[in-house]
Structure 1
Amino acid sequence: MHNYNDPHTTSQRRKKEVKEFDESKMGVKGLSDSGITDIPKFFVHPPETFCSLKSSSTSTGIPVIDLSNVNLDSHRTKIVEQIREAAKTWGFFQVINHGVTVSVLNETIAAIKAFHEQPTEEKSKYYVREEGRGVMYASNNDLYRAKAACWHDSLQVWMSPEQAPAEDIPAVCRREVVKWDLQATKVADCVMRLLSEGLGLEAGKFKELTFSDARVLVGHCYPYCPQPDLTVGITSHTDPGIVTVLLQNQVQGLQVKHGEEWVDVKPLHGGLIINVGDFLQIVSNGEYKSVQHRVLANSNREPRISIVIFFNLCKWKGSGYYGPLPELLTPEKPAIYRDFTTQEFCENFYGKGLDSKSLIDKIKL
């Protein structure tokens, strides 16, 4: 006779269900399309995940920064100040008039959506669990590490320093993925110059430090969820790298933590969302803030599509270490973080489920 309340039995059963789901390669899109009305148990999050799910309506949303005329001295000073303020107080902002046409944004979203809408047998050719290189399509990169799974699937493509071979990128979105990497990198480089100036450094400092040379593109799909009050799209976390550039369709779901409140990020047509990663918080010696964000489970019939490029540094300092930039330190403002190695950085990210600020907490002085 099975004792269903025995934690060991429950854990074994959960492992088996997770493995079966993973091996089916159908992803949550497959579950959603099959017409289920109850989500599998391993997607159900504990009640404490939800006690703060109600967003606050008091806030107007994250700052919006207009980049037109960014190269005119008369405008640039003001834009640097706006970006510095947003990175300091919010850790998140939307940029408009960033130089990428709306048609390119729409094509990119359509291509990632087309990938996720292919039949399972087509997508499953790409279904693997090998992070850190090449192309990987899977549901939940931390499926086996997290306490509860989240309602999303992702296509992950490494763009740099070692770009995934073009023929490995799914044909349905190959051209758009390569093109988007170039366009998003231009925007990120422009924003990084502004962020660098905001710290009182040379505009090209971040580029010189290879802050945009390791890049991974992730195309998320958050399909319709029949029980959105029991699970989440992505749990609350901070991003590990320097900055993240996010392109999303018009289906809402992203929330950003601001002070003690969760703020809904309303999709802005033609806008791109930029956020500060843990690494930038550390190298800026706490000047810029990496903040928690999450995505709610999608209750719309239309899937939420978001395309994220994570920008990270490629060449570590000679000693293999990194920490706050020495130029930013003074006797009045000493380092608040110690140096750490690339190995610590990777182990911290790949060794557990998504979480927030755990690296920052470990290296705080």
Structure 2
Amino acid sequence: MEVAGYDRARVLKAFDDAKTGVKGLVDAGVEKIPQIFVTPPDNVVQTSDTNREDFSIPVIDLEGIGKDSIVEKIRHASETWGFFQVVNHGIPVSVLDEMVCGVRRFFEQDTEVKKQFYTRDVMRKIVYNSNFDLYSSPAANWRDTFFCFMAPNPPEPEELPDACRDIQIEYSKHILSLGFRIFGLLSEALGLESNHLTDMDCANGLAVLCHYYPACPEPELTLGASKHTDDSFLTVLLQDKIRGLQVFLKNQWINIPPVPGALVVNIGDLLQLISNDKFKTPNVAPMVKIAMKFNS
């Protein structure tokens, strides 16, 4: 509850105008989080035990035995869970690790270098800020984000930040290739020709969201991400090794621990829509580093 006389709008603007994000608060040695980040108790995610037998998280080996078996596993996961993890997806672990390192380099570089990318203008090719909905959400999340589109019209290489330029270009190429492959499997899981979803331009657009969650002095009072569904056809998540994903299933939140070398694939709102609700988009509260969204 906000105290009498508290000027939330002024505090929000001061935080935004500083252009240093949550990382700036941590660097300044904040010991108590600002009121704008305090999440109402009813909105705090309560997690459950993932060791229960009925919470067997789908992990699909894309080089497993038989394409029909892979398609069936993807169909079942998409209809019941709305997400699955993929291993043996063809992207080298070294590329995954370097992408996470590149994100960390961007957010941990000198503040004055980062500031040149800080903006609320979503039409900019490169957008760095803290909380895209800072001025409209009831509570800000404890995270900073770097965002750009890598397809169909990516920025010129020199427009990307030095800290992650090369790996972002390389990683995006891998993800685009994997995306086409997964959309083919999803098409077959719907009983369609393998090129059906790509012919509908589901894989035309690729957005990269790189999230950073600095250590929080009062983690029990805030969230790294509020619950939401993904407004995309498909989201591919690369998790930090020490962070996890939370998904709302069977009327409770469960933790999805990272699987080494795996990528998490989320069914998006648009894919649920065009599949006539056959595939389900889950409510998620991700603590992840990179989200790659496929939009038309």
TM-score by length of 2: 0.95
Which residue, 10, 28, 53 being the options, matches 2:22?
28
Match of 1:326 in 2: none
Per the alignment, in what secondary structure is the counterpart of residue 179 of structure 1?
Answer: helix
> Could you tell me how far apart the structure 2 residues matched to 1:142 and 1:132 are?
15
Q: CA deviation at 1:31?
A: 1.0
Number of the residue aligned with 1:44: 38
Give 1:254's aligned amino acid: L
> Greater CA deviation, 33-42 or 60-69?
60-69
Equivalent residue number for residue 354 of structure 1: none
State whether residues 65 and 94 of structure 1, in contact with CA within 8 Å, keep that contact through their aligned partners in structure 2.
Answer: yes
After superposing on structure 2, the runs of 4+ consecutive aligned residues of structure 1 that deviate more than 4 Å are none
Q: Residue 16 of structure 1 corresponds to which residue in structure 2?
A: 10
Once the two structures are superposed, the pairs formed by residues 155-234 of structure 1 within 5 Å of their partners are 155-234=146-225
What code does the residue aligned with 2:190 have? L
Q: Give the secondary-structure state (helix, strand or coil) at the position aligned to 2:66.
A: helix
Equivalent residue number for residue 57 of structure 2: 62
CA offsets, 1:256-275, max 9 Å, x none?
11120211010111000100
Structure 1 residue corresponding to 2:74, chosen from 83, 88, 92: 83
Is residue 232–residue 295 contact of structure 1 (8 Å, CA) maintained in 2?
Answer: no
1:260 aligns with 2:285: no
- The change in CA–CA distance for 1:4 and 1:242 in structure 2 (over 3 A counts) is closer
- Give the unaligned 5+ runs of structure 2: none
Deviation, 1:37, is 1.1
Moved more, 81-90 or 185-194: 185-194
The CA deviation string for residues 309-338 of structure 1, in whole angstroms up to 9 with x for no partner, is 10012xxxxxxxxxxxxxxxxxxxxxxxxx
Secondary structure (helix, strand or coil) at the match of 2:225 reads strand
Aligned residue number for residue 343 of structure 1: none
> Is the contact between residue 132 and residue 158 of structure 1 (CA under 8 Å) also seen in structure 2?
no
Q: Distance in 2 between matches of 1:235 and 1:285?
A: 26
Hey, what does 1:306 align to over in structure 2? 289
- Give the match for residue 250 of structure 1: 241
Report the alpha carbon displacement of residue 4 of structure 1 after superposing the two structures with TM.
Answer: 5.1
The Cα of 1:141 is off from its aligned counterpart by 1.0
Q: Secondary structure at the match of 1:289?
A: coil
Q: Distance in 1 between matches of 2:216 and 2:86?
A: 30
> 1:347 maps to what in 2?
none
Matched-pair contact (CA < 8 Å) for 2:130–2:145: yes
Shift of 1:60: 3.7
Partner letter of residue 275 of structure 2?
Answer: S
Residue type at the aligned position of 1:243: L
Q: Distance in 2 between matches of 1:63 and 1:43?
A: 33
Aligned to 1:95: 86
Bigger Rg, structure 1 or 2: 1
Asked if 1:130 is matched to 2:121, the reply is yes
CA distance in 2: counterparts of 1:20 and 1:39, whole angstroms: 15
Question: What SS does structure 1 have at the residue aligned with 2:48?
Answer: coil
Tell me how far 1:165 sits from its aligned partner. 2.5
Secondary structure, aligned partner of 1:95: strand
Taking structure 1 as the reference length, the TM-score comes to: 0.77
CA 1:270–1:253: 2 relative to 1, 3 Å: closer
Match of 2:46 in 1: 53
Distance 1:133 1:120 in 2: 19
Q: For each residue in 1:228-269, what CA deviation from the matched residue of structure 2 results, as whole angstroms up to 9, or x when unmatched?
A: 110000100000110001111112242011120211010111
| SS of residue matched to 1:65 | strand
Indicate conservation of the 8 Å contact 2:47/2:254, yes or no.
Answer: no
Deviates more, 1:221-230 or 1:126-135: 126-135
Q: 1:233 to 1:61 in 2, by over 3 A?
A: farther
Aligned-CA RMSD value: 1.6
Task: Report the CA distance between 1:54 and its aligned residue.
Answer: 3.0
